[in-house]
Structure 1
Amino acid sequence: MGASAALRDDATLVSHAVTELARRTNFPVAFGGLEHNGAVHVSTVVGARTRSIEGLVVHAERGLGGRALVERRPRLALDYRTARTITHDYDRVILGEGIATLFAVPVLVRGDARGVLYCGSWAQAPLGEREARPAFDIAGELGTELRVRDEVDRRLASVTVGDEGMSAGAREEIRQSYAQLRSIAATVDDESVRRRLEELEGRLAALSGDAPPTSEGAGIHLSRRELDVLACAAVGATNGEIAASLHLRETTVKSYLASAMSKLDASTRHAAVARARRVGLLP
């Protein structure tokens, strides 16, 4: 993915997350952005009464968000104007919007802070676990999407297609990515996030397919969990490994495999995988 395309995609992901913050929390103002070159670039603002926050760039260790970024943990200023634990580099921006209480939550990807989401209130607003939980969840969802995108981009970048099509090694790499992507999606509760992950799964499946789906598979419908289990089995995972990856019991994995094999009219998992690939259900 080129730099400009990646930035556009970043803006889309952040826009969705900030919109969800405004919808799912009691804070009237929400904004946020991802980290680039040591600073958080705010790309989306929702609910503000002024344009003060637009274009804000928050540097590491500076202000509430800069502390959240470097410490990789949420930071709260119940009374922003008098807060003594942060620098006040951005008072003109934050106080210019009239914000009294500000809550900053880092977006973590594999333990690294990749951005910050903010919730603000014009009046002082006590913050408990119930009020903070939606912000934690949304930051986690955004982190998951970034992690998946990074992995897909990395795998796609490694794929080389020659005159005779994709190499066997590259195709296997895509299949490994597909299985990993499904295992990540299986841990995501937010339906809109899962739908976008499924779109990425479709891209991977289409990229590595030997041929377009055939009419042979028109009447075969596997459930999401059956596909999750079969995708992991397709790259050689044992029942125990599949169970650990998808957070299922091993007996449940066996049940999903048996159901998928029955629908695919296959007597073994290997035959089920082969037919699923042939009809376009797996890469």
Structure 2
Amino acid sequence: MAAPATSEIDSQLVSRAVDDLARTTRFPVVFGGLETGGAVTVSAIAGARSHAIDDLVVRTGRGLGGAAMVEKRPRLALDYRTARSITHDYDRAILGEGIATLVAVPIMTAGRARGILYCGSWSQAPVGDAVVRPAFQAADAIATELRIRDEVQRRLSLAPTAETAAGLSAAAREDLRESFAELRTIAAAVTDPEVRGRIAVIEQRLAAVARDGAEPATAAEAQLSPRELDVLACCALGSTNAQIAATLDLKEGTVKSYLQAAMAKLDASTRHAAVARARRIGLLP
């Protein structure tokens, strides 16, 4: 029975990785997918000569990829047809495509296998670290994106609503401010529009808390740029310019410029005054 399909956005994530990997590896055929319900449905394929691996569903513990997921490490079958250390549940698909050498790399987050990337060739070929390194890097990139999405979803579920915000304690409000700054940092590093949109939803919830009883902002204050707000959010946590630069992947001089611009718009003579004013007008929680 086929496993439930992964979301469209997840499929796009794997598809981009597979296409990039096909251009950067020596293997002519690359495919992969994410795990749902104890199985990985192959959702992206590049370089295949047939339709043999279309919609392939790999169960945990079965075949080369299933073994890689259980063992939480890459697996190699130099001669897939004669490999004795794996089950051969998927011979019809793999051998039907004519694959002789196959590498399976698990996509790992927090010690859990979340999917598989496969690289295959139609003839036996030597496989060394340099050959498969792009596959390791691609799996790590997907894992990083999944971790960010998990954190976004977690924070979205915990973000207070306007109705629950009124009763927040001082400690809870400080946690809220830290979450806001961390989310701004995450958003700055994310290119996926779907993930950025979900982060924006959380930020709007947190900003709604900040706007409770807020003073009206001047025209200049309302024009703070996203990066200026990022820097202020980090300042609110007590970060130095050097720490903010490292967090936001900016030069320290650039951070200083953003901070000076924000201070000017907020008519503040110090960073602390700028943060306080941003809170009073509801730009920061």
- Into which bin does the TM-score normalised by the smaller protein fall? 0.7 to 0.9
For residues 178-213 of structure 1, give each alpha carbon's deviation from its aligned partner in whole angstroms, at most 9, with x where no partner exists.
433455577x7xx856x7765554444344334699
Deviates more, 1:164-173 or 1:11-20: 164-173
1:209 is paired with a residue of what secondary structure?
A: helix
Say whether 1:271 aligns with 2:273: yes
Structure 2 residue identity aligned to 1:246: T
Task: Flag the structure with larger Rg.
Answer: 2
CA distance in 2, matches of 1:115, 1:40: 6
Partner of 2:88: 88
How far has the Cα of 1:240 moved from its partner?
Answer: 10
Gaps of 5+ in 2: none
Structure 2 residue identity aligned to 1:39: A
Partner of 2:247: 246
Partner of 1:21: 21
Say whether 1:216 aligns with 2:225: no
How far has the Cα of 1:168 moved from its partner?
Answer: 5.3
Deviates more, 1:46-55 or 1:146-155: 46-55
The change in CA–CA distance for 1:60 and 1:162 in structure 2 (over 3 A counts) is same
Partner of 1:70: 70
Identity of aligned residues (%): 52
The change in CA–CA distance for 1:164 and 1:238 in structure 2 (over 3 A counts) is closer
Equivalent positions of 1:253-268 (< 5 A) are: 258-265=256-263, 266-268=268-270
CA distance in 2, matches of 1:228, 1:272: 13
How much is the aligned-residue C-alpha RMSD, in angstroms? 3.9
The change in CA–CA distance for 1:216 and 1:177 in structure 2 (over 3 A counts) is same
CA distance in 2, matches of 1:131, 1:277: 52
TM-score (norm 2): 0.75
CA distance in 1, matches of 2:233, 2:42: 38
- In 1, are the aligned partners of 2:14 and 2:43 still within 8 Å (CA)? yes
- In 1, are the aligned partners of 2:22 and 2:47 still within 8 Å (CA)? yes
1:264 is paired with a residue of what secondary structure?
A: helix
- In 2, are the aligned partners of 1:69 and 1:106 still within 8 Å (CA)? yes
How far has the Cα of 1:257 moved from its partner?
Answer: 5.3
How far has the Cα of 1:99 moved from its partner?
Answer: 0.8
For residues 36-66 of structure 1, give each alpha carbon's deviation from its aligned partner in whole angstroms, at most 9, with x where no partner exists.
2222222222221111112212122211111
**How many residues get paired?**
270
How far has the Cα of 1:144 moved from its partner?
Answer: 1.1
How far has the Cα of 1:117 moved from its partner?
Answer: 1.0
1:156 is paired with a residue of what secondary structure?
A: helix
CA distance in 2, matches of 1:279, 1:21: 47
Structure 1 residue identity aligned to 2:129: E
Structure 1 residue identity aligned to 2:272: H
1:123 is paired with a residue of what secondary structure?
A: coil
Structure 2 residue identity aligned to 1:114: R
CA distance in 1, matches of 2:238, 2:6: 32
Gaps of 5+ in 1: none
Partner of 2:157: 157
Say whether 1:117 aligns with 2:117: yes
CA distance in 1, matches of 2:129, 2:66: 22
- In 1, are the aligned partners of 2:79 and 2:100 still within 8 Å (CA)? yes
1:17 is paired with a residue of what secondary structure?
A: helix
For residues 156-175 of structure 1, give each alpha carbon's deviation from its aligned partner in whole angstroms, at most 9, with x where no partner exists.
12234245978757876665
